[in-house]
Structure formats: C-alpha cells, structure tokens
Chains A and B, each alone.
Chain A
Amino acid sequence: MPSAHPLGDSAITIAFGEERSPALLGWIHAAACSIRSARIPFVVDVVPAYLALTVFYDPVAATYDDAAKLLIEKCTTAPSEADDRKPREHIIAVRYDGIDLPAVAEATRLDVEEVVALHSGRAYTVDILGFVPGFAYLSELDPALHLPRRAQPRPRVAAGSVAIAAAQTAVYPLDTPGGWHLIGTTNQLMFDPRSEPPALLAPGDIVRFEPLK
C-alpha cells in the first residue's frame, strides 16, 4: 500500500515500496499519469522517482491531510500498467573517448573494446528524469560493468558526457558536477528549453548507443 509523507509544507512524497523493480516503477509512472490526468486543482507538479512519487501542491488551496487522502486513493486505484504514452526509440551516437574508460576497463577486468561492446550492445529503458534538466537515468547496464560512483565527484563534467554508475548509464545534458564514470561523448542535444517537451527522453523510452569510429 502506498503511504504519504510530507516533504515540507507544499509537497507530499508517496512511497510505494522499498525494493527497486521495473514493476514498481511502472506502477509509480501509472499513478503519476493518473494524478496528472485527474486535473486536481491544488496539484502543481507530479514528479515520479524509483520508490516514490512527489506531488507539489498549493497549501493555501488544500490541507496536507485532504491532499494526502485523495492522492493515496489515486495511487491505489491506478492501473498497474505504464501510462498510455507510446515509448519512442532513440539511437545516440557516441565517441567512446571518455576520460575514465581505461580505469573502467581496469576495474572491470575487461578490455576497452569489451567495455564499448557491452555498453553499446544492449537497449536501455528510461527510468526517470531528474537531477538536472534532461538528465535521464537509463537501465540496465550489463552486470559486468557495474561500478560504484567515483569516491570524489568531479566539480565539472562537460555536457554530452556519456557515463555509467552502478546499474545505470546516462548522458550529462549540461555542464554540472558529477560522480559517474565518463566513458564517452555525444553531440546529441538532450535538453532544449524551447522545445515541447523540452527533454529528448521520456520515461519508458528505449535508448541504444551506437559507437562512432
């Protein structure tokens, strides 16, 4: 059963479970979709994540208790399938020239070529967007490539960096601090505030990386 927790005086985090799974994520996205399409007047924004979704609301228009009750009901009755939006497929061309590529090969006891083949050899699903504009968390990396984040995050990772950490991979959409391992670069624009929608990727989309020679 989903449970509601306050995130300050104008947001509610609804926790769905404690173990990450594609099924749980599917339910969370379905619940987010159901809340959005209900057009509840006090709801300002709906943000899905791995174990929870957060609803930002107008505390002048609704009390926490009333908002939480209605939202829990929506989440409980949401169909357990993903939303009705058709997932799109994207191919992102990558130069595998990342600064951490040799270190990743060494830590995983693979050749650089094997790392590239494993990373570019499968299709990934967009789990959620978050962190900075257009940053998509993609799953799931080949288990042979799973590494913890770098002990010391870099103060600046360049836009277009293709990176891995734990079971995930991502493209940094803009220059930002970052703690993932950088294995390549792409010219693909991931976020354009003037586009509708502004982010290239949406939850549920399929992404493949294609190595550039």
Chain B
Amino acid sequence: MITVTKAPPYLTVQDCGRKRTRSFGVPSGGAMDSFALQAANAILDNELDAAALEWALGGGTIRFERDCGCAIAGASVRATVGGRPIAPCTSTIVRAGDELAVEKIEAGRFLYVAVSGGIDVPLLLGSRSTYLPGRFGGFEGRMLRTGDVIPGGDAELPDQQVHCAAELLPRYEAGIVHVTPGPQEDFFDDDAWRILCESEYRIANASDRTGYRLEGPPLPGVPAALPSEPGCPGAIQIPGDGLPIVLMADAPTVGGYPKIAVVTEWDLPILAQRRPGDRVRFERTTLEQSRRALHRRHADLQSIRQLARSAH
C-alpha cells in the first residue's frame, strides 16, 4: 500500500495503455513517456507494462506502507526517500513508513514512480491506465488526491541496486524527434516536407495529454479535411492553418485532418517530455530504421530486467 501524503497537482496511475479497444472509440492512453515507465519497471523486474504513478507539474509526497522497491524515471527531479536523495533510473529499497518527496520537476514534464509488483488497481478494458476524460481506469477514474491509499508495492524486495545506464535513455535534451511518413504524405508537396523537417517548432501552451500544438512556420498547400479516419499517438496532423498538431496518448481515435508524418514510437517520449515553450525539430527516418531502433530498445529493457532478476 502507498498513501498519497501530499498530492502534486496532476498525479495518475498509468501503464502502457489500451491497445485493443480503439474500435469502440477508446484512445490508447497510458504513459506519455512509455520508455520511462518501462525502464522504471525493468529496474524492479516488474512486467514492463506494469502500472506506475505518472507525476506531472510539481512537487508532492507519498508514503510507503510496507518495505518495497521503488524506481523513478522520466523528468529530472530533485527527490528524496526518507530524507536521502535518490538517483533516477536506479532501484531504491524503501522501508515501511518512508516517504518519497519530489521537491520539484526541474526538466521535462512527466515523472514515473514505479514500485515492485506495480500499482495494483483493477484492469479495465485490458489496462490499468487512467482515462480522465471518460472518468475510468486507474484509481477510481480520477487524479489522485492527498489521503488516497493505493494498492501496490507488494512484491518481493530486490536486494541489490539495479541501474539503467544513461546511454540507453532517449536523448531528451536534444529535442530531435524522428518521423516516418503518414498515410497522407503524398498529399503534401516537397515544400511542406522541407519546412516540417528544416524548421524549429515551439510547443504551444495548449498542449496536454490529448495533443501538442506546435508554433512555427505553417506548412503550405494543406489538403482539405477527409472523412474521419484512425490516428495514433505521434501522428502529426495538419489543420487548415498549416500549424502541426501532434496527437498524444489521449487523442481521439479518429480525426479528419490529413496526417503528413508520425513520430516514431521510440522518439515520442522525447516529444512528450518537452514543455510549452521548449523547441523541437523533426528528422525524417525510414520504417526499417525505426523498427531496428524499437528492437534494440526492447532488447535493452529486457536485459535491464534480466539484471534485476539476477539481483534478487
């Protein structure tokens, strides 16, 4: 059990999302930075898609009610357990009564706090993630509040520290995000592609779990909207004003704006961790390169998990 002793403004339970219910209109949802979630789980030898706490926008504290393993990943924060600073992407053994305090989020946007065994809220439509607009999933379909007691952190304790090497992490600071072609790439001319890939865009204020709006040079020659068709997190849609909107975890399952490109699954965490005002650049890559990178990342996460297992 974990008690929220001082809730930050935006704290939810998230896992890797709902992968098989899009045809009912259910967005995939889940962690905005799925790499950080999976890395924090791997360090604790959890299933990679186990549920964890997604922590955004500020400081707060939680108290562990029994001995367990804990790991944080994602945004850079100043955090302590029982008053001692803890390192990111490293397993920490916590004792019953210890408090994890996040003083502030210094860079990035979403922090993941995983506990050994995962957060044990009920599965709903194949996932434990919170979908706030629908008020379902996660912990009672809502953000966590001070005083909530959450089931989880009940697995066996690791007895050795496991760490995820820095070179395995996405290059968050560079803000370079790779894209592959979208289904309407042929509707746009070379000029539009050149502008998309050679310009610097800024994350607009109106950016949340549904989508990130970008400010910068508009794309020319935007084709008309189409009858609604499926999108996915990472899809870059271009509305009439030519300014890209990148769909994120809670985006509607279908939409009518043409999609010129899609952010690769392995670089979406880099974009997710950008804050309003931060800059981002797009670079074109191929499906084959993207697939190889995903393979590599999958293997990396499995080997961290293997390490955690042998540390038991």
Contacts and interface: CB of A to CB of B under 8 A. Distances in A.
Interface stretch (B43-51, B111-119, B223-231): B223-231
Interface residues of A, number: 46
Nearest to A202: B24
Interface in A56-89: 56, 59-60, 63-64
Contact of B137 (A49, A175, A193): A193
A108 B131 CA distance: 38
Given A54-B229, A193-B136, A129 B20 contact: no
A51 B229 contact: yes
Interface stretch (A40-48, A111-119, A205-213): A40-48
Interface string A95-125: 0000000000000000000000000000000
B235 to A, nearest CB: 7
Interface in A110-149: 128-135, 137
Given A194-B124, A198-B125, A49 B134 contact: no
A64 B287 CA distance: 7
Contact of B21 (A13, A59, A63, A198): A198
A199 B24 contact: yes
B253 A130 contact: yes
Interface in A4-25: 5-11, 13, 15, 20
A106 to B, nearest CB: 26
Contact of B135 (A6, A32, A53, A174): A174
B182 A130 contact: no
Interface in B212-235: 226-232, 234-235
A7 B252 contact: no
A134 B25 contact: yes
Contact of A49 (B227, B264, B287): B227
B70 interface: no
A59 B294 contact: yes
A7 B182 contact: yes
A50 to B, nearest CB: 4
A13 B229 contact: yes
A17 to B, nearest CB: 11
A54 B230 CA distance: 6
A52 interface: yes
Contact of A59 (B124, B263, B291): B291
Contacts of A45: 19-23
Contacts of A8: 180, 182, 232, 234-235, 262-265
B181 interface: yes
B207 interface: no
Contacts, number: 150
Nearest to B266: A9
Contacts of B63: none
A87 to B, nearest CB: 16
A186 to B, nearest CB: 17
B124 A13 contact: no
Contacts of A50: 227-229
A188 interface: no
Given A8-B265, A198-B21, A49 B291 contact: no
Contact of B254 (A11, A56, A130, A194): A130
A34 B185 CA distance: 28
B171 interface: no
Contacts of A5: 181-185
A10 B290 CA distance: 10
Given A7-B182, A8-B234, A134-B25, 12 more contacts: A5-B181, A6-B180, A7-B183, A7-B262, A9-B291, A32-B23, A47-B23, A49-B228, A50-B227, A56-B22, A131-B25, A197-B24
The 5 closest A-B pairs by CB, nearest first: A8-B262, A130-B254, A54-B230, A50-B227, A5-B183
Interface of B: 19-27, 124-125, 131, 133-137, 180-185, 226-232, 234-235, 252-255, 259, 262-265, 287-288, 290-291, 294-295, 298
Interface of A: 5-11, 13, 15, 20, 32, 44-54, 56, 59-60, 63-64, 128-135, 137, 173-176, 191, 193-194, 197-199
24 contacts: A5-B184, A5-B185, A8-B264, A9-B294, A15-B183, A44-B19, A44-B20, A45-B19, A45-B22, A48-B23, A49-B229, A51-B227, A52-B183, A54-B230, A54-B232, A59-B294, A132-B134, A132-B252, A133-B25, A133-B134, A176-B133, A194-B124, A198-B24, A199-B24
